[in-house]
A = this chain, B = another copy of it.
């Protein structure tokens, strides 16, 4: 059931270990690269380095809470990453 109060409905939450993850799909390699560059900028600004797996047209982002509970900082970073693909479902 969708939770209207969930700020990051497209992300999977995992508890053990605590992390957030989302897979993004793109039409072209250049879109994929642009997204990766955007994530890199956000990561540097937040000083939090996601684990990313990507191929030509997909990127899987994992935000690791470093053993702590998933907190507001991590959720905020997930929202910023979402905003890179705003308009895309």
Contact = CB atoms under 8 A, between A and B. Distances in A.
Given A29-B44, A49-B56, A52-B53, 12 more contacts: A29-B49, A33-B40, A49-B55, A50-B55, A51-B53, A51-B54, A51-B55, A52-B52, A52-B54, A52-B55, A53-B53, A53-B54
**DSSP class of A's interface residues: helix, strand, loop or mixed?**
mixed
Interface residues of A, number: 12
Interface in A1-33: 29, 33
A50 B41 CA distance: 22
A44 B52 CA distance: 19
10 contacts: A29-B44, A29-B49, A33-B40, A49-B55, A49-B56, A50-B55, A51-B54, A52-B53, A52-B54, A53-B53
